[in-house]
Chain A
C-alpha cells in the first residue's frame, strides 16, 4: 500500500477496511465514498449502471485459479475497483491494484472480468450475507 495512504490511516502493516480507505481518500483527494454493506447483487449492478464506480470487497481464492490472478499464491481478502459494466456481455471493468505487470504472467492494468467471476468473489468475502456484496460507491459521474 502506498505510504501516502498508510500515513492517513495511522501506519502499521495490518490489513485495512473500507472505512480506513475512505478516510484516506477523503483526506488525500477530497473524494467521499458511500460505504454500504450487504447490498443485494441486483442493486449493486444497478448502481454501477447508474453511473457510479465502486470499491468491492472480494475473496482472492476465487480469482486465484483464473487468468485474472495477479498475485499467485495469495488467496486472502482483497478489494478491487469496478468502473463500469459492458452491456454487450455483462462484463465489468475491474482495476485490481495487484495487476501491475511486475513480472511475466501478471496482468497489467484494468481487465474485463465476467460478471459471474466478480459476483462469486464478492459473495465469498467472509461475513457477507447470501447474495450480497460489500462496496463503497463513488458519486454518479455520468450526471
Chain B
C-alpha cells in the first residue's frame, strides 16, 4: 500500500482569504474525510425538552 499523502496544513487564521479558499478546496477533496465512522450516532434533538 502506498504511503498516505500528508494532510494539508491549515493557514494561520490571519492569513489572506485566498489561502483559506485554497486550503478549503484541498481539504474537501480528501477522500478519508468523506468516510463515515462506524457507529456514528444520530442527532437526538427530537428528544430535547420542549
Contact = CB atoms under 8 A, between A and B. Distances in A.
Interface of A: 1, 13-19, 21, 34-40, 42-43, 45-47, 49-52, 57, 60, 71-74, 76-79, 87, 90, 97-98, 102, 125-128, 134, 137, 140, 142
Contact of A36 (B34, B42, B43): B34
Contacts of A87: 13-14
Given A49-B17, A127-B41, A140-B21, A1 B36 contact: no
12 contacts: A1-B46, A14-B46, A16-B43, A19-B36, A43-B27, A47-B23, A51-B17, A57-B43, A60-B48, A73-B49, A78-B48, A127-B37
A34 B48 contact: no
A42 B10 contact: yes
Contact of B27 (A47, A60, A97, A134): A47
Given A76-B44, A87-B13, A134-B40, 6 more contacts: A15-B43, A17-B40, A35-B34, A37-B36, A43-B10, A50-B23
Contacts of B48: 60, 71, 73-74, 76, 78, 98
A102 B48 CA distance: 13
B28 A38 contact: no
Nearest to A20: B42
Interface of B: 7-11, 13-14, 17, 20-21, 23-24, 27-28, 33-50
Contacts of A78: 43-45, 48
B45 A98 contact: yes
Contacts of B42: 14-17, 77
B21 A127 contact: no
A57 B45 CA distance: 11
Nearest to A115: B13
